[in-house]
Amino acid sequence: MQFYFPDSQDQVDPSFDFITEQRSIHRVRQRDDRYAHEVIDPPPYDGLLISKPIVDGLPGTTAKYTEAQRSRLHRVGARRFFRLDHGATDLKIMGDCGAFTYVREHEPVYAVDEVLDYYEECGLDLGVAMDHLIFGYDATLDAKSASDVPADWRFRQGLTIELAAEFLRLHRVRRCRFEPMAVAHGWSPLSYAAAVTQLQNIGYSRIALGGMVPLKTPDILDSLKEVSVALDPAAQLHLLGVTRTAHVQDFAGFGVTSFDSTSPFRQAFMDEKDNYYTLDGSFVALRIPQVDGNTKLRRQVTAGLVDQRSARRLERECLRRLRSYDKDGTGVEATLDAMCEYAALLGTKKDRSTEYRRTLEAMPWKQCSCTVCREIGVEVIMFRGADRNRRRGFHNLAVFSKRLRRELDRADARS
Ligand SMILES: [Zn+2]
């Protein structure tokens, strides 16, 4: 089972000093900043997924790449761009068109030729044909007639298959080097299976299942079960955006050989509670926003809602007490008090003291052996600025990859 991590240029700066919060004046982002696969050893994923809209942007969405990065990616190719050309790591690079970004359009926004150009120029290992998301799932439609299925759903499924046919035809004509993958969309177990059958008939042996992110796990499993009946023994399935490690062995049993997800990384700073992963659970990270670096906080100060001097004092107090607690293990209450006082000054409505206490008492960062936790210790648990938050995301990726291996080993042991 291979795990692909969707890239959005979230790197960390190795020169960042956690005490002074200064960086090297000689830092050059493109040259010095590090990807998760350069920080965590072994790399926490089997491959990277780069989406065309993340690279190029689209009307209404902003690209995560600067113009300079984009042209560098095209010029040197993805392997060198991600510094995977040393031969030390065998990561694959997959490309897709980020169907989610144009889901509201009537049709996908790219021409098939343009997508092939992009995959070829970047020198990708795998390229996903353009697809169009179906937002809806209704298993009861399997017992009804075709005319009961919303016309837009049928249109999107059909269009995705047509585009996949054209993609494969041009892939052959142009003798492209990357391995082609198509996306099956559906609204029920049988409709997913029907799409997979059609894509196999066209000539695909690698097929991604799209639109499953919002589905409940039983619905995913029902659909996979039906798909697996139609699947050629040599064909392989990819789950787009689905992370449910507890079911990874079931997925594998139905022919799934890869999936991708940003969740482990993004939860580090997007989730309400599950910010710091452990093998069997997670902890909330301790929110100590930067008076000088946090946009929301700066706005509150400017508007006169927060007193800057008090904020600075409490911010420093939180950092001091937390670091001191990390050293000698005393002062949980004092640390908690400082954090609650700071949160109150900032007008935070949510009371996180119970969750904070749990994190403090367990000191999970002391038990983790990943590079991030070994190098920066207690700083990893602070919800504070990109340099800590992204490193916590890298830590989560490392733990996630261990969870995944563990689930797969359990499956092996049983079989
Ligand atoms: Zn760690």
User: How far is the centre of ligand 1, averaged over its atoms, from the C-alpha of 340 (Å)?
Assistant: 26
Looking at residue 356, its pLDDT comes to 98
The torsion of the CA quartet 207, 65, 242, 138, rounded to 10 degrees, works out to -80
Is residue 342, in this structure, part of any structural domain at all? yes
User: How far is the centre of ligand 1, averaged over its atoms, from the C-alpha of 1 (Å)?
Assistant: 23
Is residue 34, in this structure, part of any structural domain at all? no
- Total domains in the chain come to 2
User: How far is the centre of ligand 1, averaged over its atoms, from the C-alpha of 35 (Å)?
Assistant: 15
Looking at residue 88, its pLDDT comes to 66
Give the H or E element holding residue 323: helix 308-328
319 shares a domain with 277:
yes
235 shares a domain with 122:
yes
311 shares a domain with 182:
no
Say whether 96 is catalytic.
Answer: yes
User: How far is the centre of ligand 1, averaged over its atoms, from the C-alpha of 372 (Å)?
Assistant: 5
User: How far is the centre of ligand 1, averaged over its atoms, from the C-alpha of 46 (Å)?
Assistant: 19
203 shares a domain with 143:
yes
Active-site position among 222, 260, 326, 387: 260
Say whether 274 is catalytic.
Answer: no
Is residue 2, in this structure, part of any structural domain at all? no
Looking at residue 412, its pLDDT comes to 77
Could you say which residues of the chain have pLDDT below 50? none
342 shares a domain with 242:
no
384 shares a domain with 274:
yes
220 shares a domain with 89:
yes
Average confidence score pLDDT of the chain: 94
Beta carbons of 370 and 399 less than 8 angstroms apart: yes
Active-site position among 96, 131, 222, 326: 96
Write out the DSSP string of 34-88.
Answer: B-HHHHSSS-SSSEEEEEHHHHH-BTTB--SS-HHHHHHHHHH-HHHHTT-TTSS
382 shares a domain with 303:
yes
What is the domain range of residue 326? 270-400
Last residue of a domain, one of 242, 261, 280: 261
Is residue 86, in this structure, part of any structural domain at all? yes
Is residue 185, in this structure, part of any structural domain at all? yes
152 shares a domain with 280:
no
289 shares a domain with 215:
no
Q: pLDDT tens-digit profile of 294-308?
A: 888 888 888 888 899
| Domain CATH for 253 | 3.20.20.105
User: How far is the centre of ligand 1, averaged over its atoms, from the C-alpha of 22 (Å)?
Assistant: 23
240 shares a domain with 361:
no
Looking at residue 300, its pLDDT comes to 87
User: How far is the centre of ligand 1, averaged over its atoms, from the C-alpha of 25 (Å)?
Assistant: 28
Is residue 193, in this structure, part of any structural domain at all? yes
Looking at residue 415, its pLDDT comes to 67
Q: pLDDT tens-digit profile of 344-361?
A: 998 899 999 999 999 999
Neighbouring C-beta atoms of residue 317, cutoff 10 Å: 18
Whole-number percent of the chain with pLDDT over 90: 82
